[in-house]
Structure 1
Amino acid sequence: MIPVSLVVVVVGGWTAVYLTDLVLKSSVYFKHSYEDWLENNGLSISPFHIRWQTAVFNRAFYSWGRRKARMLYQWFNFGMVFGVIAMFSSFFLLGKTLMQTLAQMMADSPSSYTSSSSSSSSSSSSSASSFSSSSSSSSSSSSSLHNEQVLQVVVPGINLPVNQLTYFFAAVLISGVVHEIGHGIAAIREQVRFNGFGIFLFVIYPGAFVDLFTTHLQLISPVQQLRIFCAGIWHNFVLALLGILALVLLPVILLPFYYTGVGVLITEVAEDSPAIGPRGLFVGDLVTHLQDCPVTNVQDWNECLDTIAYEPQIGYCISASTLQQLSFPVRAYKRLDGSTECCNNHSLTDVCFSYRNNFNKRLHTCLPARKAVEATQVCRTNKDCKKSSSSSFCIIPSLETHTRLIKVKHPPQIDMLYVGHPLHLHYTVSITSFIPRFNFLSIDLPVVVETFVKYLISLSGALAIVNAVPCFALDGQWILNSFLDATLTSVIGDNDIKDLIGFFILLGGSVLLAANVTLGLWMVTAR
């Protein structure tokens, strides 16, 4: 469900804005001065929509559009080729996404959608849409251990965490501005009059638009139109590529201030995290191992937890003398899931272990967890322990099906012994691969930069993909029309037939996109 507080704030805020606008426009004293003020500042207000347009940037746009004309010509030619390929590829991508969604619905096991997020263009303007290309956050709490769809429906407040909204809306706005800058420069390059640039807010989504002289657009050739209509998604694609490059080079860029490759730094531990406690994890701790799995970066952390979660519980070697010294008579019983318990349910220090004696008989014993697993090698069977000592046993924690005992090394502190589901540790502890070289540096700065860049990649990529769909009111509609004019005019003399072909392609793209959005929203909100 969408948080009630979010709905109240959004609806209440827009109601206040609209009523204020209505009162001022109805006032005898303020009507003319208020309307003049709106017109002079390029503002227009309607229900759930505020729009601002200006000619302040026209000189800059004309300067960019007329500089290095030959290079721009080649640049937008590449964009035109990309746009046409993206338009047809979007059918395959949306079809694949729809099949994945239907498969999830049939299996009645919808996968969780991350915080990642979306945007698209509306008509000649850009706005946020319901789609986001998959992208994980720099903190482990924002990542997923499972495979995800390339495109996902995102609803702020439901599958987009509230603390990620700043990244989301900033990336949406920047992606939209870059998209429209592409249209504007391409239009000026093709001698189309540029009237102005603007920004809008629709409900909670920011976006941008350019105002072009429609008559000029209609007079130029279909190929010139293609360069203009494809320029937006081309710029979004390039922005996503630059974001990927920045992400790859981020360790090098931050090298004078942060180093990597020695572990992961704890940046946040949720209040309800099982890792909280006197011997738990704290902000600033450096984790180097999970069990015997070395951790040098965030990817290692995720892969180690993934391995621990889906492989059987690992055991620990213990000498026969130590086992005899620590163990005490117990009464074992079966849990509901079939596992065996042999300790007091309320014990916070003891864990039930199973092992096989020299006669290969399975036994259970209750041991102090820390004394049993400290300074011991890991094992799967008794044979793994014979290498170090002939009189050793491999004791394996006897826990519930999905519960694991995990030894977390974070020197110089004593190892943390975590008992619980690995996913709980995964989602309640935020980490980063970047360790500050100096004490005055913030441990959060690399996380902020990395998370924002990932959102920018995701949203700019989504804007390029979704806006290329041949769908009514998206750039894909105009790309398709211009493409058909450029390719079929000489083949099909009858414009009505050509328009009919275009209509059915647009109808198919619109239905496919609407089906993805509708089913995606249902998957997100109906849980």
Structure 2
Amino acid sequence: MANRWARRRREVQTHLPLHISHPSSSISYWYCDFKIYNLNEHIFSFGRRYARFLHVWFTVGVAFSFIALLGVSLMLLWGSAGPYHLQSRDMGINGLSVSWLFGFSSLVPGLSLSIMDVGIMIVSTLMSVALHEFGHAVAAASEGLPIEYIAIFLAVLFPGALVAFNYDMLQSLPHFAALRIYCAGIWHNLMFCAVCLLTVFLLPLMLHPLYIHNEGPMVMGVAQTSALSGYLSPYDVIISLDGSNIKSPQEWMNKMAQVNAQILPKFTDLEEPLHSQAVSGRKGYCIPNSWVENSRNDKFSCPDGLTAFVSIPCFNSSLLVRSIHGDGDKNKVEDRQCLTAQDVVKLKKCGDEWELTGNDRSHCACSEEESCMAPVQIPGLSWVEISYSSPYSTECLQKRRNLSSTDSSGSTSCGGSFVYVGDVSSLAYSIQLSAYQPRWASIIFSAYLPYVLEKVSACTFHVSATLGLLNSMPVYFLDGESILETSFCYITWLTPRRRHRVLRSCLVAGTFLSTITILRILYSILI
């Protein structure tokens, strides 16, 4: 944010003063700031030394800043039409803008922020703000305009920063030189976004000698409130979800969303008993007949620790929904079996909902001594089977040293499989995953390095884009106000009074529409 400090002087200076009085920091009930003067000499020297190159650099920035200003203004006008004509479509635009700018679409239940995540957000914000203000300061120095100070402030509850210039000296500059100064912050934010995108794109190539990329998401942290906290640990690698191989954190999120979309709907018929249950006939296991004979249960519910299974026709595995009543016909529960889920997940799978590979492609893979059975689920909840490995655990490393092979079913200490029954919408966000794995166990201590670099680059992109677009808005007290005011000076066919009226109308409308848009975005985040 460029600030024109209205302290008048009798003559315009073209070099940085060596001795000036420094105003003290301001503190009040609603505003406080901290002024920095030590960087003035260094920034001014740098700007004057490379003035010719910086003029070209910031001239390009003026063009891009005007495009951003025009684009943001059109977005505000489009958003203002939402409540009247395009409300449903506009809410989708708000959701898209939130996801693109802030990196998330809403406050998802189960979403956890660790201390590292908070630190990354703070560092990203500081870098984006610092580069924005550095752009203003260097642009001013390249024009021969010394900065008065750099201030970090807190207005009410909103933090920010600014670069203060002498107003008289700024007014004496040509209009286009002033535009280069005002547009410099937005231009630097846009370039910072490009650098962050390039970093994320090249990160797998740069880290390739030490890390494996997209060959299974590695668990970096599990929230204490997560249902997975008792099963997954840091440095575990997720192998598959419901038989589908998972290669990256994005595939994990996509698969979880797919599973959540396939949840059996809850019964809404008032005549349906409250304790109705449903059977998904597309996700079954080949249960040995000996287990079936020993686990038959004619009661409605199974004992604690056991899960109810029902036989399904292997040749026709379309979705079956059966209502099972506690006091209903016994024929509906006579084929129910109470089995241990952890033992069942080690068996061969049947049904067409599994994404099977290799020799298990047949949906009717059960032998004559086995029965295809599916778990009984409560409508509204999901049955999810997760397979994982622990390649960096002490036991697994010892087995590798002894050249002993692990059991493919996952029963060894190098991994396993478990079942989660519940709401998967919050489960996906309750763990932190990285797309990178160390190539050697000896560098496992550096497993967080790619995760932090990727998170910092992504978060900085979102913060820098948000800061640049906010300052592009035609709003009071932001860079958009100064850019718009200076641009109107080129409209010579309007009198100064009319230019002032048009400028004030644009700023009032822009401030109003921006406030409404931001409130709607915040509302879409909170709901």
- TM-score w.r.t. the length of structure 1 is 0.73
Q: 1:78 aligns with which of 49, 57, 60?
A: 60
Which of 431, 435, 438 is residue 437 of structure 2 equivalent to?
A: 435
Match of 2:309 among 352, 365, 373: 352
Distance of 1:472 and 1:45 partners within structure 2:
22
Match of 2:453 in 1: 449
Change (3 A) 1:173 1:256: same
Distance 1:372 1:520 in 2: 46
Conservation of the 8 A alpha-carbon contact between 2:309 and 2:373: no
1:312-331 to 2 correspondence within 5 Å?
A: 314-318=282-286, 321=289, 324-325=292-293, 327-331=295-299
Q: Give me the whole-angstrom Cα distance separating, in 1, the residues matched to 2:59 and 2:51.
A: 12
* Alpha-carbon offset, residue 419 of structure 1: 1.5
Question: For structure 1, which segment, 56-65 or 361-370, has the greater mean C-alpha deviation from structure 2 after superposition?
Answer: 361-370
**Secondary structure of 1:441's partner?**
helix
Give the alignment of 1:41-440 within 5 angstroms.
42-95=24-77, 133-136=100-103, 148=105, 161=113, 163=115, 164-202=117-155, 205-277=158-230, 280-311=231-262, 314-318=282-286, 321=289, 324-325=292-293, 327-331=295-299, 342-344=300-302, 346-353=303-310, 355-356=312-313, 365-368=336-339, 369-380=341-352, 384-386=362-364, 389=367, 394-411=372-389, 412-436=414-438, 437=440, 438-439=442-443
SS of alignment partner, residue 472 of structure 1: coil
Checking the alignment, whether the CA contact within 8 Å between 2:310 and 2:373 is kept in structure 1 is yes
Distance 1:407 1:425, change over 3 A: same
Task: Give the match for residue 507 of structure 1.
Answer: 508
Distance 2:294 2:259 in 1: 27
Q: Specify the code of the residue in structure 2 equivalent to 1:288.
A: I
Q: Give the distance between the partners of 2:80 and 2:290, measured in 1 at CA.
A: 58
The more displaced of 318-327 and 294-303 is 318-327
For structure 1, which segment, 93-102 or 430-439, has the greater mean C-alpha deviation from structure 2 after superposition? 93-102
Query: Aligned partners of 2:138, 2:292: CA distance in 1, in Å?
Result: 80
Shift of 1:415: 0.9
Q: How far 1:179 sits from its partner (Å)?
A: 0.8
Alignment coverage as a number of residue pairs: 439
Q: What's the offset of the Cα at 1:328?
A: 1.0
Gap change, CA 1:326 and 1:189, over 3 Å in 2: farther
Q: TM-score, normalised by structure 2?
A: 0.73
Report the counterpart of residue 478 of structure 1 in structure 2. 482
Q: CA deviation at 1:283?
A: 2.0
Alignment gaps of 5+ in structure 1: 1-38, 117-130, 137-143, 332-341
Asked if structure 2 preserves the Cα contact closer than 8 Å seen for 1:385 and 1:394, the reply is no
Distance 1:381 1:258, change over 3 A: closer
Helix, strand or coil for the counterpart of 1:427? coil
**1:41/1:474 CA distance change after superposition, 3 Å:** closer
Does the Cα contact within 8 Å between 1:263 and 1:297 map onto a contact in 2? yes
Deviations 1:169-194 (A, max 9, x none): 33222211111111111112223232
Cα distance in structure 2, aligned partners of 1:198 and 1:501: 31
CA distance in 1, matches of 2:79, 2:484: 22
Cα distance, 1:105–1:308 mapped onto 2, change above 3 Å: same
Larger Rg: 2
Is the CA contact (8 Å cut-off) linking 2:286 and 2:350 kept in structure 1?
no
Measured in 2, the distance between the counterparts of 1:160 and 1:199 equals: 30
**SS of corresponding position for 2:312:** strand
Q: Is the 8 A contact 1:133 1:459 kept in 2?
A: no
